């Protein structure tokens, strides 16, 4: 008879339990994974210098977007503070008028008391929450002299106006508190992004910093080449336009026809813009070398929109404070038609702006740690150029 043996799998015994070989392998894998997870990161896990460069650029971009939000909130806070101050001044003046009206009513009551005349209950009137209701409930008005009626009307009017203004001031104070809180939040957001970027850069070795500088140099060279290409294209287009204009003048002189009014008007407009742009550019050039400071509007330092605002102000053009508002002032033109003085906006969120100087170059306040400088509009690649706006 065949022997019937009970199957006994091979394996190891753990805590008195025999485990299959597969389970043993699984436990071994778990142990190895645990050891790997607890081990210190290897050198291979360190981000590459290209990844660090991209991360730092992203953080600076985020910080600049947060700066524009801070600028907008600060503008709103300043406007709200002015409104609160105005309302509080108005409340103070109306309160003074109300006190004067109350004093006049009190003098009537005192005079009537001294003469023994039948006087209205002025004390009740002055303490009433709503004097008009008090008059409606009694027939006091019929017992007052014309002078007393005028005084009562003045008192009622001033009390209503003062109450309304106090409510407005209270609401404005609440709004101011909210905007101030938002201002602190946006400020902290900028500081957090910049601190993270500084932390990443501080961890780079000397060799890595040199590699990062080399990457930046290559990007700058590529940007300069793109700027030169744009300058050549514009020069060719301008030459072609001049030749066409000369040909038109020849034709016009031969046929004796006229009709150059539109061209003359266009030239006058171009001349006016050029004069203003020259003033803005002269100011911007004088700021080259001054530090970028987020939220700054000069004269010692600037952020990007603070510089363009200050530059065009010298030409008599008042630009709004933020890039998000500046992009809506003036006329949007194609990149191929860009002229000195135009504003160049960058990124989908329109968080950066520069002042075009010609030949594919601009003057801008780039980022924290940098200075106002002249640089190619392609400094970050053509893809990040959002739009070009002619502000005047």
Q: How far apart are CA 80 and CA 183, in angstroms?
A: 12
Answer whether 230's CB lies under 8 Å from 385's CB: no
Q: Which of 43-52, 100-109, 338-347 has the lowest mean pLDDT?
A: 100-109
Residue in 381, 190, 168, 212 with CA at minimum distance from that of residue 293: 190
Considering only residues 157 and 49, tell me which one the structure prediction assigns the higher pLDDT: 49
Considering only residues 25 and 207, tell me which one the structure prediction assigns the higher pLDDT: 207
**What pLDDT does residue 297 have?**
97
Per-residue pLDDT tens digits for 341-389: 999 999 999 999 999 999 999 999 999 889 999 999 999 999 999 999 9
Q: Examine the pLDDT at 235 and tell me if it is beyond 60.
A: yes
Residues with catalytic annotation? 304, 352, 364
Q: Examine the pLDDT at 2 and tell me if it is beyond 50.
A: no
Per-residue pLDDT tens digits for 64-74: 999 999 999 99
125 band by pLDDT with thresholds 50, 70 and 90 = low
- Record the tokens describing residue 209, joined without a space: 């910093």
Considering only residues 243 and 35, tell me which one the structure prediction assigns the higher pLDDT: 243
pTM: 0.72
Mean pLDDT of the chain: 81
Evaluate the omega torsion of the peptide bond into residue 319 and state whether it is cis, within 30 degrees of 0.
no
285 band by pLDDT with thresholds 50, 70 and 90 = very high
Most confident of 79-88, 111-120, 152-161: 79-88
């Amino acid at each position: 008879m065949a022997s019937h043996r009970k199957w006994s799998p091979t394996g190891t015994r753990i805590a008195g339990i025999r485990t299959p070989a597969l389970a043993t392998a699984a436990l071994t894998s778990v142990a190895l994974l645990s050891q790997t997870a607890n081990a210190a990161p290897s050198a291979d896990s360190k981000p590459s210098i290209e990844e660090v460069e991209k991360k730092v650029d992203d953080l600076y971009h985020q910080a600049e977007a947060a700066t524009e939000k801070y600028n907008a909130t600060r503008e709103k806070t300043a406007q709200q503070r002015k409104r609160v101050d105005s309302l509080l001044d108005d409340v103070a003046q109306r309160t003074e008028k109300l006190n004067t009206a109350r004093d006049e009513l009190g003098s009537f009551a005192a005079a009537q008391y001294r003469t023994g005349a039948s006087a209205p209950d002025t004390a009740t009137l002055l303490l009433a929450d709503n004097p008009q209701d008090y008059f409606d409930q009694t027939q006091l008005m019929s017992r007052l002299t014309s002078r007393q009626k005028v005084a009562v009307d003045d008192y009622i009017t001033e009390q209503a106006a003062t109450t309304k203004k106090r409510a407005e001031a209270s609401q404005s104070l609440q709004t101011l508190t909210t905007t101030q809180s938002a201002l602190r939040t946006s400020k902290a957001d900028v500081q957090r992004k910049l601190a993270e970027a500084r932390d990443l850069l501080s961890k780079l070795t000397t060799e890595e910093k040199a590699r990062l500088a080399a990457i930046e140099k290559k990007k700058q060279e590529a940007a300069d080449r793109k700027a030169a290409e744009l300058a050549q294209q514009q020069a060719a287009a301008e030459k072609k336009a001049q030749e066409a204009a000369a040909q038109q003048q020849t034709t016009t002189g031969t046929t004796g026809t006229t009709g150059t009014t539109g061209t003359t008007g266009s030239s006058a407009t171009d001349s006016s813009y050029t004069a203003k742009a020259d003033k803005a550019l002269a100011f911007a050039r004088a700021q080259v070398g001054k530090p970028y400071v987020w939220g700054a509007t000069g004269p010692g330092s600037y952020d990007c929109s603070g510089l363009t605002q200050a530059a065009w102000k010298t030409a008599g053009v008042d630009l709004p404070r933020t890039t998000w508002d500046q992009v809506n002032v003036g006329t949007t033109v194609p990149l191929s038609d860009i002229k000195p003085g135009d504003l160049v906006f960058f990124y989908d969120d329109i968080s950066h702006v520069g002042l075009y100087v010609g030949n594919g170059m601009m003057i801008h306040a780039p980022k924290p740690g940098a200075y106002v400088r002249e640089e190619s509009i392609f400094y970050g690649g053509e893809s990040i150029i959002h739009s070009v706006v002619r502000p005047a």
